[in-house]
Amino acid sequence: MMRHQNVAPGEGGGFRYETGAQVWAREKSTRAWVYLPPGTADTVRPDGLTWKAYAKAGNLLCGYPGCAVPFASAHGGVQKRHHFVHPKGGVSHAETGGELIWHLTAKETVRAWAAGAEQFQGWAIHVDDVPIVMPEGWRRPDVLLISPDEQRRIAFEVQYSELTGSQWLARHRHYERAGVVDIWLFAPIPGPLWRRPRNVPRHNDALFRGTWEISTQLSPVHATMLEEGRVPLWLDPSALAVGTATAQYRRTWFPTRDTEQLWARRKSGTPSVLVPEPDFAACWVSSDALATCTVDMRTGELETPTRRLQRSSLERDQRAEERWRSRQEEERRSAAAARAAAEKARLAEAAERRSAELERRQAQQELHAGERQAALSALHTAQQAAASRPEREDEVEHEEPQQIAPPVPPVPAERPEVPPVPRRRRSVRDVLPRWLGGR
């Protein structure tokens, strides 16, 4: 299994939605939505008027439901986004209409993008008017794209209000059963699905301080989407941009069979831009222009440049892991071959020792056998000799005895005669002590 360490990104993003900046308006004559590009308040339109002059002429109306007040002008600055403004003293929807304005302009942003995308030439585009009906119920997507042959359908849901993971999963399954690709775009304005992280501990591997401007907490619905293999997306109608949930990792080690850690890439190595894990508390939001996005019908996702980068990073890491595992397997095979060769040499040496010992024992046995054979031969010879001796004695008895003269005894030398010494008889006094009267 691959392991990573989350690190701070190295390049900034431009995803920042300003709630109070109304950059969409309706044409007074056609009620069609028009978009004010960034920094173009003084730019000349095709009709020869600047956006500011065109708005001052009363040609652009506020798109907030029930308002329809002509905008007084269009202005902005270097730091602040160029936008349309109401007449002085008039109403302002910056505080109360942010959610509704975002929802309206988000749907129009998706519709305008699909209408101009080469991928959807000839497709029918429906906004809030075609439901997806199933036996268990129906749902009406915010924007629905239908192919010319009516075999492919793409539903866009722009979501600001709170949504639980189970609710999203039920709606996602509804679209799946209907054969509809569903793409969800969340609102990057303060609300239940967009919260800036206050203090995310470093030890939770969720978010490190970096140079990217935008980061957000991941809600339970985002975690459910990540578990289902879907990456959360946020839509910024004011910049015509899509934000992709991402996290930058730096590979530190690969697991081995014995749970050791092998350092495969230093901290100075190239980080990988990958999809956040479902248990992350927060993530970075990488901004991409909506015009650079396409819909991948195979995966059912809105393919942003960040998603392509995530896939390429994942493929690169997988290739690196495969190379590492291949090297590990080669090293294991080499080690196994070395062990097999050593074992073979040990067995050959043991066989030689056994052969030498066997030869020694055979030689010793042959020697002992020769000695036993010689001893048996000597014994047999002795037995034969012993068995033949009585016959010889019998033969001796039948022989004539030889005439042997008797031995002549020696003549003893004469001794001089010595007269005998008379012996005295002993009495009682001879044995008594002197004090008793003995001698």
Mean pLDDT by 10 residues, the chain (439 residues): 34 47 86 87 89 90 84 82 83 66 90 94 91 83 93 93 92 93 91 70 38 69 94 90 81 43 40 79 86 92 91 82 87 94 94 93 89 86 80 54 62 65 67 65
Distance (Å, whole) CA 55 – CA 61: 8
Same domain, 269 and 141: yes
Domain tally, the chain: 2
Alpha helices in 129-286 (DSSP H): 165-177, 220-227
Number of other residues whose CB lies within 10 A of the CB of residue 101: 26
What are the b/e assignments for 137-156, b being 16+ CB within 10 Å? eebebbbbbbeeeeeebbbb
273 contacts 246 by C-beta, under 8 angstroms: yes
End-to-end CA, the chain: 131
pLDDT at 174: 93
pLDDT at 179: 92
Same domain, 45 and 107: no
Task: Answer with the one of 245, 279, 306 that is the final residue of a domain.
Answer: 306
Distance (Å, whole) CA 210 – CA 188: 19
Distance (Å, whole) CA 260 – CA 367: 61
Single-letter code of the amino acid located at 226: L
Residue given tokens 């699905």 in the structure block: 193
Task: Answer with the one of 251, 286, 306 that is the final residue of a domain.
Answer: 306
175 contacts 182 by C-beta, under 8 angstroms: yes
pLDDT at 13: 37
Same domain, 298 and 176: yes
pLDDT at 117: 93
Same domain, 244 and 263: yes
181-186 vs 153-159, strand pairing mode: parallel
CB proximity list for 187: less than 8 A, separation 6 or greater: 17, 99, 102, 103, 106, 158, 159, 160, 193, 194, 234, 235
Range of the domain at 86: 21-93
Encoding tokens for residue 264? 């495969």
Task: Answer with the one of 93, 113, 142 that is the final residue of a domain.
Answer: 93
Number of other residues whose CB lies within 10 A of the CB of residue 113: 19
Same domain, 56 and 126: no
> 321 lies in a domain?
no
Distance (Å, whole) CA 228 – CA 222: 10
Same domain, 281 and 144: yes
Distance of CA 178 to the CA centre of its chain: 35
Q: Which pTM value belongs to this model?
A: 0.67
* H or E stretch at 126: strand 124-127
Same domain, 113 and 40: no
> 425 lies in a domain?
no
Same domain, 175 and 271: yes
Same domain, 41 and 172: no
Same domain, 51 and 154: no
Question: Among positive and negative, which fits the CA dihedral 177, 301, 8, 5?
Answer: positive
90 contacts 102 by C-beta, under 8 angstroms: no
pLDDT at 20: 60
User: Coil, helix or strand for 337?
Assistant: helix
Neighbouring-strand partners of residue 439:
none
75 closest CA partner among 67, 63, 86, 64: 86
Same domain, 235 and 181: yes
